[in-house]
Amino acid sequence: MTPVSSKQYADDVSLLMVLIDTNPLFWSSTTTPFSFSKFLSQVLSFLNSILLLNQLNQVVVIATGFNSCDYIYDSSLGHANQRAEALLQKLEEFVIKDEELNKEDSVDGIGSSLLSGSLSMALCYIQRVFRSGSLHPQPRILCLHGSQDGPGQYVAIMNSIFSAQRSMVPIDSCVIGSQHSAFLQQASYITGGVYLKPQQLDGMFQYLTTVFATDLHSRSFLQLPKPVGVDFRASCFCHKNTIDMGYICSVCLSIFCKHHKKCSTCG
Amino acid sequence: MPQVRIIAKNFMDMVASLPAIKLDRLYENAFICEAILRSLPPLAKKYVLQLLYIDAPVTASSLQEWVLVDGASKHRVAVDRLIQLRVFTETVDRKKEASYKLNSMFQMNLRKHIVHGGVLPREPMAANITVRLPSLEELDSYASQQWECFLLHLINSAEVEVTTKSISPSMMKVFQRGLLSQRDNEGPRLTESGFQFLLMDTNAQLWYIVREYISNSEDRGVDSADLISFLLELSFHVTGEAYNMNTLSDIQRTTVKDLADLGLIKLQQGRKDSWFIPTKLATNLSISLSDASSRKQGYVVVETNFRLYAYSTSKLHCEILRLFARVEYQLPNLIVGSITKENLYKAFSNGITADQASIILFLQQNAHPRVAERVPSVPENVTDQVRLWESDLNRVEMTPAHFFDDFPSRDVFEAACDFAREYSSLLWEDSKKMRLIVKTEIYAHMKDFLSHQK
């Protein structure tokens, strides 16, 4: 006998958390192949297409700034029309606020965005959805990231990755910068998401819809990009440098680049 | 029974069965494109999205390359569905290789949607014109009340003609078609599918009625494609907002009135304008049945001693229970009855079945939350007994048949037996006395065959 309430949501209902990199240092640098506005227009179309696919789909956008991060759009709150306007307005407010924070105290990691913060925010949101009731869409996280990794965030990011893995939330990553991101490679590898560094950024929308619009149910029978190689290097806890070889505390597994007599983490 | 089972599936099956010209015309409406896209299987949605900005036809083999081996069957289902709905047009070139292209109208509408975002079909009226809008709860209760009233009407008209609420008789006739049968000297009676219908859940019932309504539209001089597009458009309105009646065409206005009778829409009259407010029933219309999030709370408790307690104030629930159980007494919020052999026999003779479709499923689906948690929500001894009582009635099976004897020779008899066996219509044979019985269907063939033998 099957219980009546066994399955009331279709397989492809998804909750997509999109993390957008708004780091001004990245977007203003000359190596960036295309402008922020062009990028945004493609992402907006992508969000529209996700919401088009199913009336129960939900999209939440989190801006990953230089000093802070914040929710800038939640499709469950607003009306269907003026989606783009609402998002852009919130985004502008966010960017201004982010810039103000910068004047007060500058962060040591130059040129990296606060990915760990936005990942944790996304996971918090997902946890809230999980707890809201037995009926919930299938969540996944998509990182649209450009700026380079900040080794200082290593521990925080790894912690978010493991908690995503525990709650079975895949982290997809689409790297728009010129270099591969070791953090995101690991994130996608560990959580079973897709890691992609598009070759031609002009066709961003096509990449997004072809690869990242795939719901979790369909992923089991579609060809998706496979990881070529994952950079598993860790950062040391003492100087936040990325290292190939180092020392590990036998008790708490903290990583150090130099030999210490006493572990600074567990003592 | 089969006709009832099919309809429970999908509205889109009906759209797919429209003639090609009408279907192409439907795609001129952006909302229909959206609704159709949402109704597709997940893989098909993906294909549409991927091909949205590709203008050249894509060969079937390259489409196939996107799929892993495990997904081949899903791939075929998706592509078939797309072709059936004419979203894909298939062309076969000289080398017998098929290639697909998106329907250009469909493609254009979706592209527009993706660039501009969703739009509402019509603007809701400003709050200062409308006097007082009902709250969402009020609207919900209005919708379910109206729907119950309609169902009560259906049951009651089978017994006595009561006109409590004004449902236009012509509409009633449309809805009752297939559910009620009229004999010459008796009043109208519920047919087999009518009984099945009453035990289905609200969403399935709604589909059935809407389907009947659409298939009847041609008789009323309304184009079915127009009606479908209006109904789908309706499902994109926002529940609880008021929309001006002036924005509708004449045909749509009459449709709106019919739908108001069913509780899909609430009509309100202001000083100058009148407006309509879609209820949840209407906005859920384009959602397929699998997503039925509108499952209602159950109210029935069945005990092992065949007693049945229904915590309900609804007259409809009482009437439904009366279809297969003896209602013993009624308290303000409680109906007490028992499942008896006599009442079940009556139900079976009306065409209600014990199993999948009807009684047991109904009891399980409407189980009171307290008992719904238990693993068999209806006690096993009750379900078993109901099934046994049903099989009691089916002990003898009747098959119309013809009897042959006096065969001239054993050869002819054997040949006749083999012939009947080929059609798998041989019911009985007695080789000693050379007699056999076959089903009526092949009587004519049998006669032909025997006359050739002589």
Residue B20 CA to chain centroid, in angstroms?
23
Instruction: For chain A, say whether B444 makes contact (Cβ under 8 Å).
Output: no
Residue A178 pLDDT exceeds 60? yes
The packing angle between helices B224-234 and B202-215, to 10°, is 150
* Partner-chain contact B117 A222, CB within 8 Å: no
Span B319-330, average pLDDT: 85
Residues A75-113: pLDDT tens digits? 887 666 677 888 888 999 998 888 888 765 555 556 788
Q: Are A118 and A68 in contact (CB under 8 A)?
A: no
How far apart are the C-alpha atoms of A142 and A139, rounded to whole Å?
10
Residue A255: strand pairing partners: A248
What's the CA angle centered on B236, arms B234 and B242, to 5 degrees? 70
Record: contact B37-A52, CB cut-off 8 A: yes
- Facing residue for A52 by CB, picked from B46, B114, B375: B114
Contact (CB<8Å) B365/A7: no
Q: Which residue has the tokens 């999109």?
A: A18
Interface contact A138, partner B, CB < 8 A: no
Distances (CA, A) of B438 to B103, B424, B433: 53, 9, 16
Report whether pLDDT(B6) > 80.
no
**Nearest alpha-carbon partner for B399 in B440, B428, B429, B436:** B440
* Contact criterion met (CB below 8 Å) for B106 and B221: no
Residue B292: what pLDDT?
Answer: 44
- Point out the residue among A55, A220, A223 whose CB comes nearest to the CB of B66: A223
| The predicted structure's pLDDT at residue A52 | 86
Q: Give per-residue pLDDT as tens, A40-59.
A: 988 999 998 998 888 788 89
How many angstroms separate the CA of residue B67 from the nearest CA in chain A? 4
Contacts of B50 in chain A (CB under 8 A): 206, 209-210
Question: Are residues B42 and A51, on separate chains, in Cβ contact within 8 Å?
Answer: no
- Nearest residue, CB atoms, B118 vs list A54, A81, A206: A81
Burial of B219 (0-12, 13-18, 19+ CB in 10 A): exposed
pLDDT score of B3 more than 50: no
Residues 135-194 of B with CB under 8 A from A: none
* Least confident piece of the model among A9-13, B94-98, B255-259: A9-13
Side chain identity, residue B275: W
H helical segments located in B302-399? 315-322, 341-349, 359-365, 369-372, 380-393
3-state secondary structure of A69: strand
- Check if the beta carbon of residue A206 is closer than 8 Å to that of residue B53: yes
Task: Provide the shortest C-alpha distance from residue A3 to chain B (in Å).
Answer: 8
The average pLDDT across B279-283 equals 75
The confidence band for B99, taking pLDDT boundaries of 50, 70 and 90, is confident
pLDDT at A17: 94
Question: Looking at the partner chain, which of A7, A9, A48 has a beta carbon nearest the beta carbon of B113?
Answer: A48
The pLDDT score that the predictor gives to residue B296 is 60
pLDDT of residue B312 exceeding 80, the answer is yes
Point out the residue among B42, B66, B238 whose CB comes nearest to the CB of A12.
B42
**Closest chain A residue to B377 measured between Cα atoms?**
A3
pLDDT over 90 at A118, yes or no:
yes
> Which residue of chain A comes nearest to B37, CA vs CA?
A53
Q: Which residues contact B291 (CB under 8 A, 6 or more apart)?
A: A8, A9, A10, A13, A56
Question: What's the pLDDT at B149?
Answer: 79
Of the candidates B68, B118, B120, the beta carbon closest to that of A222 is on B68
DSSP-assigned states of every residue in B239-292: TT--EEGGGS-HHHHHHHHHHHHHTSEEEEE-SS-EEEEE-HHHHTTTS-GGG-
Provide, rounded to the nearest whole percent, the portion of chain B with pLDDT above 70: 79
Measured between alpha carbons, how far is B239 from B139 in angstroms, rounded to an integer?
9
In this prediction, residue B43 carries a pLDDT of 87
Place of tokens 């490679």: A185
Nearest CA in chain B to A4: B365
> The tokens of B247 are what?
């924005």
pLDDT of residue B157: 60
A5/B295 CB distance under 8 A: yes
Q: Which chain A residue lies closest to B380 (C-alpha atoms)?
A: A1
Residues 205-224 of A with CB under 8 A from B: 205-206, 209-210, 213-215, 217-218, 220-223
Chain-wide mean pLDDT for chain A?
84
**CB of A88 less than 8 A from some CB of B:** no
Closest-CA residue of chain B to A214? B46
CA angle at B161 for the pair B159 and B162, rounded to the nearest 5°:
115
Q: Name which of B290-304, B341-355, B429-443 the model is least confident about.
A: B290-304
Percent of chain B with pLDDT over 90: 0
Count A/B contacts: CB-CB distance under 8 Å.
103
Q: How confident is the model at residue A3 (pLDDT cuts 50, 70, 90)?
A: very low
pLDDT at A103 (0 to 100) = 65
Tell whether pTM > 0.80.
no
For the segment B358-416, what is each residue's pLDDT rounded down to a tens digit? 788 788 878 888 887 777 888 888 888 888 888 887 777 788 888 888 888 888 888 88
